[in-house]
Structure 1
Amino acid sequence: MMDIYLLVSIAIGLCVAMSGAWAIQRATGLSGWIDTIWSLTVGAGGITAAIFADGGFSRRSIVIMLIALWSLRLASHIGARTTGAKEDPRYEKFIKEWGHCASWQLFVFLQMQAVAAFVLVLAVYLAAANDEYLLRPLDFLALAVGFIGLGGEALSDAQLARFRKSPGARTGVCEVGLWRYSRHPNYFFEWLFWCCLPLFALAEPIGSWLSLLAPIMMYWLLVHVSGIPPLEDHMLRSRGAKFVAVQQRVNAFFPGLRRESSSKSNGDVL
């Protein structure tokens, strides 16, 4: 049975943390800190939820390890990228569109991010609350999916960071390594990571179905809302025909075979 008091307390903490992220963005003008704080907040909320879940110690320990690795890696990556950087083009576009209401609209937007964070934390809780024996075939599959997601996202981020230091990166589009097969491999592997939690949670109908909300929500956000759409809009404005050519030969999200053309370009996708 779910611990409602625990989940409500975590939800309140998520809202408070994202209010702090709003204050930091207003003070620094750098929205990258929002995503850094969000990553740490989801990690802290997930770890807290897993510690107090009803599942066995071994299952809770593995879930805690996975969410901690996810949180620390993503937060450190975004934090390092934000230090000394300009404003995130996605948030910059949102703030410009919001105009004189930008401050209030951003606050509401970040509270919506707190809701999204709670959906992820709930999936972590349900995965840790499963009291089935740990090393079932589904658990091995869950571990494989989780580590592939973590490793793939770290690799794609590293490949992009390395590309950004190469000649021509300021005007090109990244097509090295994993970026040859997906325009946003980091987003794909981020989504894949959250697919491991429903596999851990599979024990009884309610927990199983609720845990599916995490990968469903992440797919919707990354592909249709705050991930690919504003980022690709920025790329079209900054790279023009080069990015259009990449769109024609590389899948947007799921990795797939390239559709080669006579013209090729090199550059940056994030």
Structure 2
Amino acid sequence: MSGVDAGALALSVGATLGAALVVMLIAFAVGLRTGRHRGVDVAWGLAFGAMALTGYACSAGHGDPGRRLLATVLVLVWGLRLSAHIWWRSRGADEDPRYDRMLSRAPGSRDAYALRTVYLLQAAIAWFVSLPVQVAQQLPHPPGPLAWTGAGLWAVGLFFEAVGDAQLTRFKADPANRGTVMDRGLWRYTRHPNYFGDACVWWGLFLLAAGSPIGWATVLSPLVMTYLLVNGSGKPMLERQLSSTKPGWAEYVARTSGFVPLPPRRHRGA
């Protein structure tokens, strides 16, 4: 295992799962009190931050101090920024239409169904996606070129997420843009700069662990995250909603890349 202490890694894996569950159960309690379960999106980034801090504590005396700190700080910066952005964007809002549709089909108790299919499921997914971070924190050697490449890819991802979110927020704040499609800034080159950035972040964090065989064994984690963004609960669900609410959406889709940033396509008749 490239010098990784198997016992310490096993402790970290179990403890981080517990940390994710605690965050999501607190979010569930808040959802019960407010009657809205959209707060789970805020808890998503907080769960990753809690797992990073837990993994950092579990790796003390085992992993290289520099690599441990690097992995932990990168996750905290990403997770706290994401949670703060989602909280600010959704403050005072009604239930998210996605969760409203999902929970309207609940067989039995709506809240019990939300606990199973929203909170506990997201805790499990977050824990699985975070496995490369837990491994990186346990590696005994300092960061090398591969790890610093990963940090660079993380920075690219954070840029696309943060700048894309800021551009969309400013666009929505202008009443003149109501009912129109955001096709400016980074959104001119990809329909989902924030989702593309998210994928880059987690592939970058995977590279922090990829300097060892046990790290490469966690490659399914960024693959699962990318799949969810492109084909799961990310891009498809959002685009189904936008296609029915935004005039000009079909034209935007025709000229704009769906995920990876590319120059806009020209209309054939142009």
TM over 0.5: yes
Residue pair 1:30, 1:82 contacting (<8 A) in 2 also: no
Q: Does the alignment pair 1:248 with 2:254?
A: yes
Q: Given that residues 31 and 37 in structure 2 are in contact (C-alpha distance below 8 angstroms), is that contact kept between their aligned partners in structure 1?
A: yes
Aligned: 1:124 with 2:133? yes
Worse-matched range after superposition: 82-91 or 35-44: 82-91
Q: Structure 1's 251 and 98: CA in aligned 2 closer, same or farther, altered over 3 A?
A: farther
Q: Which runs of 5+ in 2 are unaligned?
A: none
Alignment of 1:1-270 (within 5 A): 1-2=5-6, 3-53=9-59, 54-98=62-106, 100-109=108-117, 110-134=119-143, 136-210=144-218, 212-239=219-246, 241-261=247-267
DSSP 3-state at the match of 2:264: coil
Q: Runs ≥4 in structure 1, deviation > 6 angstroms?
A: none
Number of residue-to-residue matches in the alignment:
260
Residue 30 (structure 1) shift: 3.2
Question: Could you list the runs of 5+ residues in structure 1 that have no partner in the other structure?
Answer: 264-270
What TM-score comes out, normalization by structure 1 length? 0.89
Q: Partner of 1:174: helix, strand, or coil?
A: coil
Change over 3 Å in CA distance of 1:252–1:31 after alignment to 2: farther
- The alpha-carbon deviation at position 13 of structure 1 amounts to 2.9
The separation in 2 between residues aligned to 1:262 and 1:185, in whole angstroms, is: 25
- Report the AA paired with residue 253 of structure 1: F
Answer yes or no: is the 8 Å Cα contact 1:55–1:130 preserved in 2.
yes
21-30 or 122-131: bigger deviation: 21-30
Question: What CA deviation, in whole Å up to 9, does each residue of 1:139-181 have, x standing for no partner?
Answer: 2211111111112210000000010012343211110100011
* Distance in 1, Cα, partners of 2:149 & 2:211: 15
The letter of the residue matching 2:142 is Y
What is the aligned-residue identity percentage? Answer: 32
Gap change, CA 1:5 and 1:129, over 3 Å in 2: closer
**Could you tell me the TM-score, scaled by structure 2's length?**
0.89
